[in-house]
Structure 1
Amino acid sequence: MSSTMDAGSAFDGMFTAGSGRFVGSDGTFEHLAVRQWAGRTDLADRQLFIDHCSGPTIDLGCGPGRLISDLAERGIPALGIDVSAEAVRQTRRRGVQALRLDVFDDVPGVGDWAHALLADGNIGIGGDPVRLLSRARELLRPDGTALVEVSALGAGLVRDERRLWVEGRFSSAFAWAVVGLDAIDEVAREAGFSVTAVRTVAGRHAVTLTAA
């Protein structure tokens, strides 16, 4: 039987290996696009996120840093934070700033960021999207925006415990959530946001949130 590793080590292993899967509490596997996250931004990344950033931007759960690397190349100040040491290492290797932090830690620039990114399913971090978006709102300046990737219409709001499957081993369980297009308005409202734009590109969906 495969031994279990803690979630932090599993995420490090995932970014090192370039592959991994989520495993839901019902045993369902979900392939994670780790190699895509470690590459360059594509058209969907740019049209969903990058093109809507005009000032200092913080990427919450930055992974290997493709989004903030693109922003930095455009001259936009950007910072990535992630709980994975390997993700932070890979981001810094791109020549951009990243810190190993949880979003609820003492994050630099509270109240000063123009934009906060939650891409690649990161609205699920911590299993409580209202709490997560409330924290994003604290990080933003009053006229700032949160740019959030959500799941397809009909996905609803699902809170679950998940594990990572990386190179033949499971991680310990951690809380995660899924928010669909049909659920984001209510989640945003509870966090003090309004949905002011919805974009769909190449089968991916993102919303712009502004303080209500």
Structure 2
Amino acid sequence: MSTAESTLGHGTVSWRADPYTDALRTGRGPLFLRRHDGWMLPLEVERWCARADAADMAVLRRCERAVLDIGCGPGRLVAALAALGHRVLGIDVHPAAVARTIRSGGSAMCRSVFEGLPAEGRWETTLLLDGNIGIGGDPEALLRRVTEISAPGGLLLVEAASADVDERVQVRVDNGRGCLGAAFPWARAGVPAVERHGRAAGWTAVEEWSAQERRFVALRRTTD
């Protein structure tokens, strides 16, 4: 088993912890990723469980043809893309997230990006939004995997951290009221780090923009 697979397996168990399940069920926070030193990153549960907003739509209008949403969560982007006429599939390791996506009318499956996926090598657009560049705790390994599942010349749309950071950490899901999930690896990457890890994994940055205090990068697959 590769490092990416083993870390993803750890993360899969952790994301099924009760704090996240409860938040998805109610559609409300508070919910955080808690670092070992006590620092906490707020998770925007209410936004994730609402309809796609203006910043989301600015990303989705850039999508080309068939779209894979990696870490789709409760499915707002899958639903919005379907409404725009795209063939779209969401994947997520959390059964409650996949169930909520399907209830919203979207197509989704409970699967890790590091496992076998439908239409590998043919996805024309892939999404890593809502901090999902952190999946597995190793952005370069994640982006190499996305290279494998993307079509030649494919488009990758990434939401970067708002700060210029490049860190790999252990975190736990925390509801702020004393309920914690198990520790798992995560990462944060600002725009320069996303572009640097992308180059190493066979991607070229072609655009970057900000919307509603969120930062995004579009990359084009450059490997054969």
Match of 1:33 in 2: 44
* Whole-angstrom distance in 2 between the partners of 1:75 and 1:129: 30
* Whole-angstrom distance in 1 between the partners of 2:57 and 2:209: 12
Instruction: Report how many aligned residue pairs link the two structures.
Output: 206
Q: CA RMSD in A?
A: 1.4
Structure 1 runs of 4+ with >4 Å offset: none
TM-score where L is the length of structure 1 = 0.93
Shift of 1:13: 2.9
Contact kept in structure 1, 2:93 and 2:112, CA below 8 Å? yes
| Map 1:24-173 → 2, pairs under 5 A | 24-47=35-58, 49-154=59-164, 156-166=165-175, 168-173=178-183
Shift of 1:6: 4.2
Shift of 1:146: 0.7
Match of 2:17 in 1: 9
* Whole-angstrom distance in 1 between the partners of 2:123 and 2:15: 29
The 3-state SS of whatever aligns with 1:183 is helix
Shift of 1:211: 1.6
Letter of the 1:9 counterpart? A
1:199 aligns with 2:206: no
The 3-state SS of whatever aligns with 1:210 is strand
The 3-state SS of whatever aligns with 2:180 is strand
Go from structure 1 to structure 2 and tell me whether the alpha carbon gap of 1:64 and 1:144 turns closer, same or farther (over 3 Å shift). same
The 3-state SS of whatever aligns with 1:41 is coil
Structure with the bigger percentage of strand: 1
Letter of the 1:194 counterpart? T
Contact kept in structure 2, 1:112 and 1:139, CA below 8 Å? yes
TM-score where L is the length of structure 2 = 0.88
Shift of 1:111: 0.6
Q: Unpaired segments of 5 or more residues in structure 2?
A: 1-12
Structure 1 vs Structure 2: percent identity of aligned residues? Answer: 35
